[in-house]
Amino acid sequence: MATPRIAPSMLSSDFANLASEAERMVRCGADWLHMDIMVIFHFVPNLTIGAPVIESLRKHTKAYLDCHLMVTNPLDYVEPLGKAGASGFTFHVEVSKDNWRELVQQIKLKGMRPGVSLKPGTPIEEVFPLVEAEDPVQMVLVMTVEPGFGGQKFMPEMMDKVRTLRKKYPSLDIEVDGGLGPSTIDLAASAGANCIVAGSSVFGAPDPAQVISLLRKTLEN
Ligand code: DX5
Ligand code: ZN
């Protein structure tokens, strides 16, 4: 059975107070901190943070930094993010068709945990070779919104992908990202997701600890 993990998306945090926001989330029970790395018009229409911010944040927290790369050239980020202290490195399958083997190898070499993500329109079959490779990815991140922004509506039809993965790979880390919160966690948990990214539902709540604990309880049941 894959370990349940709740990963608040720091995209919804106060970026001007990132270190204290990270600490607050850890205090509220977060297992991982989800870090969305976006480069505008290179994969998504938004811009967030890169290795320098991860490096600065790393000086303030020991937490697992679960980096989600929404860029067209993830290989260029492996070395800087490894040096900066990233923990997980999840790239998109849509931009890695030719070099995913090298990517996985380099990510591991730099001491990070490799993961692969797919957009809502990408068939789940595209990640199978990466999970079944001799040197495999250790997590699949199923996007449940179009990547780019927090606060969007969860796409329940993506749960078919999660069910398919869970049936094929009983112990794989399966992460879902986009629109997750108390009203959608049942669907994700029953489909077999074990890592839950939650941005607006956690940061927008009066009591984030309560939301995190509810998400965790649903996963554990
Ligand atoms: C969207 C990002 C998500 C986002 C989730 O492209 O990958 O991590 O922050 O935010 P919510 O939980 O608000 O949908
Ligand atoms: Zn994300």
Residue positions annotated with a catalytic role: 36, 177
Residue ranges making up the domain that contains 72: 5-220
Residue 49 has pLDDT above 90, yes or no: yes
* Interface predicted TM-score of the whole assembly (ipTM), two decimals: 0.98
Q: What is the Å distance from ligand 2's center to 14 Cα?
A: 16
Based on the structure, what is the number of domains in the chain?
Answer: 1
Give the pLDDT score at 4.
97
pLDDT single digits (tens) 10-46: 999 999 999 999 999 999 999 999 999 999 989 999 9
**Predicted structure pTM score:** 0.98
pLDDT single digits (tens) 114-171: 999 999 999 999 999 999 999 999 999 999 999 999 999 999 999 999 999 999 999 9
Best of 71, 141, 200, 201 to mutate for ligand 1, by most ligand atoms within 8 A of CB?
200
CATH number assigned to the domain comprising residue 80: 3.20.20.70
Question: Which amino acid type is present at position 36?
Answer: D
DSSP string, 52-120: HHHHHHHTT--SEEEEEEESS-THHHHHHHHHHT-SEEEEEGGG-TTTHHHHHHHHHHTT-EEEEEE-T
The encoded tokens of residue 125 equal 């079959």
